């Protein structure tokens, strides 16, 4: 068969691609919904934070502060000095820093709350996956027993087939952390 004359049949998209695509669309829709719920103050803080974190902001400040300094050092002869001691420049920079840090903190607080929601979702998905895997192990063990397979009673599998209590995992982690801090 000559492959140059026969076109390959397009492969159907795998179901995984469809699932991934659906999940991406759901996440994007959720993000858009969350953005629409923001108040004007949060949107304003986000705009200021985005702009202050850009190179345009740096260039603008280089221009403004550079001109301010050049004028007040007397390097621009046709413009009179208006802040020869640079006290006004220092005050303006301090006030700007106060407001910029406040806008950045507002945005960071919102982003931190979003990260906490995502962490909770991740935890819920992980717990669900752990539960499903535990059930699958138990089912595979039962199938192995019915088929008479000797390896179906592996002690490690027995342990994995038991449900894990998340609170016990957290307690154990805390105990180990406390012990490592005490030994340091």
Maximum separation of any 2 CA atoms in the chain, in Å: 99
Residue with tokens 């005050």: 91
> For position 1, what pLDDT does the model report?
46
> What's residue 101's pLDDT?
96
pTM (two decimals): 0.63
CA separation, residue 143 to residues 21, 150, 153 (Å): 34, 12, 11
72 within 8 A of 82, measured Cβ to Cβ: yes
Where does residue 24 fall: left (phi above 0), alpha (psi -120 to 50 degrees), or beta otherwise? alpha
pLDDT for 48 equals 94
Q: Find out whether 103 and 114 touch, Cβ atoms under 8 Å.
A: no
Question: For residues 78, 80, 86 and 91, what is the CA-based torsion angle, rounded to 10 degrees?
Answer: -110
Regions of the chain where pLDDT drops below 70:
1-16, 151-153
Alpha helices in the chain (DSSP H): 15-37, 40-52, 55-72, 87-147, 155-160, 166-183
The full set of domain ranges for the chain reads 39-164
Nearest CA to 91 out of 67, 58, 57, 68 is that of 68
């Amino acid at each position: 068969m000559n492959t140059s004359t026969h076109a390959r049949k397009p492969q159907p998209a795998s179901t995984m691609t469809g699932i991934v695509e659906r999940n991406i669309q759901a996440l994007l829709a959720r993000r858009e919904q969350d953005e629409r719920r923001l108040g004007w103050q949060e949107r304003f803080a986000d705009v200021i934070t985005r702009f202050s974190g850009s190179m345009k902001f740096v260039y603008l400040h280089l221009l403004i502060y550079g001109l301010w300094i050049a004028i007040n050092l007397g390097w621009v002869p046709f413009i009179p000095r208006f802040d020869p001691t640079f006290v006004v420049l220092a005050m303006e920079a301090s006030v700007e820093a106060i407001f910029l840090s406040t806008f950045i903190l507002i945005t960071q607080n919102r982003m931190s709350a979003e990260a906490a929601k995502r962490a909770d979702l991740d935890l819920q998905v992980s717990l669900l996956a752990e539960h499903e895997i535990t059930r699958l192990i138990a089912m595979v063990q039962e199938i192995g027993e019915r088929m008479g397979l000797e390896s179906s009673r592996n002690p490690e599998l027995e342990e994995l087939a038991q449900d894990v209590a998340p609170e016990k995992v957290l307690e154990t982690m805390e105990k180990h952390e406390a012990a490592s801090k005490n030994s340091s």
